[in-house]
Homo-oligomer: A and B are copies of this chain.
Amino acid sequence: MKLLEERMLKDGNVLGKDILKVDSFLTHQVDFKLMKEIGKVLAEKYADRGITKVVTIEASGIAPAIYVAEELDVPMIFAKKHKNITMTEDILTAQVYSFTKQVSSTVSISAKFLTSKDRVLIIDDFLANGQAAKGLVDIISQAGAEVVGIGIVIEKSFQAGRQLLEDEGIEVTSLARIKNFNDGKLNFMEADA
């Protein structure tokens, strides 16, 4: 997605050897215009696939996911990273290790929101080691629902996440694929949309 790559080059900051900070338009301050475009491009890719639910994980996945859901005219569910005392009934859970935050956390979705008839499109802001996406796949599978694909805003293609998901037979659609950060500069691979 050209518009996204251009924005990453303009406003993204490379930190160290493997972190890209995009907090001015995606992960902290959010540009709704870009999110709408992201929603359109990902929804178009999955328009004829019978998607019934969009699933993401709090918090940075929510803005792109709601626009994908709007385009596909289906509900969006955001998985929770922490249990809440108002989550009293059956919940589906998975353990997710975050390399960024260096903590393991329980990700959960209320069982009542996913059934075996659901065809799910997972949306997330980043794909790096694939742990968060893998956790969502596990939860959706526990519900007997089908993961039709995973739409990613920014993929760090030098990390193992994409392979991990493809090895499970899941289609990954990444709008920007970072090949490497050589010399502190963003180098892209060809994106999926």
- Interface residues, chain A, CB within 8 Å of chain B? 15, 19, 21, 23-24, 27-32, 35-36, 58-59, 62-63, 66, 69-70, 75-78, 80, 82, 84-88, 100-102, 109-110, 113
A-B contact pairs, 6 of them (CB 8 A): A28-B80, A30-B77, A32-B70, A59-B62, A63-B63, A85-B100
- Residues A70 and B36 in contact, CB atoms below 8 Å apart: yes
A84 near B100: Cβ-Cβ < 8 Å = yes
Copies of this chain present in the complex amount to 2
Which residues of B lie under 8 Å from residue A62 when comparing CB positions?
30, 59, 62-63, 66
Compute how far the CA of A32 lies from the CA of B36 in the bound complex, rounded to whole angstroms: 13
**Cβ A21 vs Cβ B86 within 8 A:** yes
Let me know if B85 and A24 touch, CB within 8 A: no
**Known pairs A30-B77, A32-B66, A35-B66 / 9 extra A-B pairs, C-beta < 8 Å:** A19-B86, A29-B110, A30-B69, A32-B76, A36-B70, A59-B80, A84-B101, A85-B101, A85-B102
- Assembly CA distance A115 to B27 (angstroms): 19
Smallest CB separation, A26 vs chain B (Å): 11
Nearest B residue to A32 via CB reads B70
User: How far is A85 from B19 in the complex, measured between Cα atoms in Å?
Assistant: 10
Closest to A113 in B: B29
- What B residues does A102 contact at CB under 8 A? 85
A76 vs B32: C-alpha distance when bound (angstroms): 8
Contact A28 B101 (CB under 8 A): no
A31 touches B101 (CB 8 A): no
Q: Are A15 and B113 in contact (CB under 8 A)?
A: no
> Which residues of B have CB within 8 Å of A75?
29-32
Residues of B within 8 A of A19 (CB): 85-86
A63 to B69, CA, bound (A): 11
What is the CB-to-nearest-CB distance from A112 to chain B, in angstroms, rounded to a whole number?
8
How far is B86's CA from A113's CA once the two chains are assembled, in angstroms? 33
